[in-house]
Structure 1
């Protein structure tokens, strides 16, 4: 198995007629979800299993993946770490030997940048953002947001408890947790109109597929 971390950006679409590369347990979990959520869940786990199967040289259904709806996916110990994010019709997947987190947003997404930053960002970051013109401020708020969401997945925490403790310093290109002092490596790439954030020890070495 390759030691290099991998990241994949791809369409989320999946033919509902099947066949799906998901486990019997995942089929059971998906059956009780609302229809729209069912489709996203099946598609994301199908694609994640297919990608992992290539790395682990297993059948997709046999990949030892534990991924209940609404929870971060995990692999059997010793097989690495995974993360996923979906937005609209796109899916971002990642695998690494070390903890990793990803997040995905449409680059032109309209957001209430000032409201978000005032409410959820540390005061030091908000002060820096105020120096920017509104269009630049909105773009930087969105980039900061995806980096922080990826960091929270890397950390295995939650937006509600930890978002306000993460600070993205664009001047120093540094992501920092203000309480714990963590400064994980982070990358935010623009691909085909999407912002793709990757956070983790090997984020900068990831091979994109």
Structure 2
């Protein structure tokens, strides 16, 4: 049974190196991993194993007791009463977020090369494009990456899809919240920078009384 971690202000974050040793996963997860390519299989094992490891420490149970349902390509879910989970990985790190309230996280290397102007023109709403129009070069790249992280985290919070929802999320360059212009969702956005990584954490408005704390593993 889950512990009574019921405070709406709780939001736990963990950052794991992707080169860390693999941790135990469930028999079903092993079967799913076996159907993936070698690279995707390792990513899958890494993410599910360390999600289980982090939550086992949080709940003080064994990793394989965590009621995680996270098949490839589907939003991860926990059983009722165990809170909400979100995770994201880039080439060398894994970010895991947990909260009693719905949460979405996204992670990228801060130096990831992107076609900033093209991405913004193709995928950002008109207001967010307008907020970027005075920026050039590295400043534009950094701002587009920040917005992209926030939008992806918001879509994970929503349990939506990039194809259907990316252009509808408005979050601005430095905004502390994001709005879905069609569905009316409004959420908190926390942006975090650590070492070579940039992160965004999205939660229900007022779900967090303080900025989330990042645990480095």
- From 3, 9, 30, the equivalent of 2:15 is 9
Shift of 1:124: 1.8
Normalised TM-score (structure 1): 0.93
Aligned-pair distance for 1:42? 0.4
On the 8 A contact 2:97/2:104 being kept in 1, the answer is yes
* Pairwise CA RMSD: 1.5
Q: How do 1:12-27 and structure 2 match up within 5 A?
A: 12-15=18-21, 20-27=23-30
Alignment check: 8 A CA contact 1:82 1:93 kept: yes
Q: Does residue 44 of structure 2 align to residue 41 of structure 1?
A: yes
Contact 1:6 1:96 in 2 (8 A): yes
2:114 maps to what in 1?
111
In the alignment, the residues of structure 1 paired with residue 135 and residue 211 of structure 2 have an alpha-carbon distance, to the nearest angstrom, of 31
Correspondent of 2:55 among 52, 56, 60: 52
Are the structure 2 counterparts of residues 14 and 32 from structure 1 closer, same or farther at C-alpha, using a change threshold of 3 Å?
Answer: farther
User: 132, 146, 151: which is aligned to 1:148?
Assistant: 151
CA–CA separation in structure 2 for the residues paired with 1:105 and 1:123: 24
Q: Unaligned stretches of 5+ in structure 2?
A: none
Counterpart in the other structure of 2:95: 92
Offset at residue 171 of structure 1 (A) = 5.3
Deviates more, 1:197-206 or 1:83-92: 197-206
1:126 aligns with 129
Say whether the 8 Å CA contact 1:150–1:199 is kept in structure 2.
yes
Find the aligned partners of 1:86 and 1:39 in 2 and give their Cα distance. 12
**Structure 1 runs not aligned, ≥5 long:** none
> How far apart, CA to CA, are the structure 2 residues paired with 1:105 and 1:183?
23
- Are the equivalent residues in 2 in contact too, given 1:23–1:62 (CA < 8 A)? no
Structure 1 runs (4+) deviating above 6 angstroms are none
| CA shift for structure 1 position 136 | 1.2
Specify whether residues 117 and 85 from structure 1 end up closer, same or farther in structure 2 by C-alpha distance, changes over 3 A only: same
**Equivalent residues in 2 for 1:174-185, closer than 5 Å:** 174-185=177-188
For residues 176 and 202 of structure 2, the distance between their equivalents in structure 1, rounded to whole angstroms, comes to 13
Per-residue CA shift, 1:81-108, capped at 9, x if unaligned?
0000000010000100000000001111
Partner of 1:208: 214
Question: Structure 1 174/59 Cα, relative in aligned 2: closer, same or farther at 3 Å?
Answer: closer
- 1:116-160 Cα offsets, whole Å, 9 max, x none, are 000000112112211123321111000000000000000000000
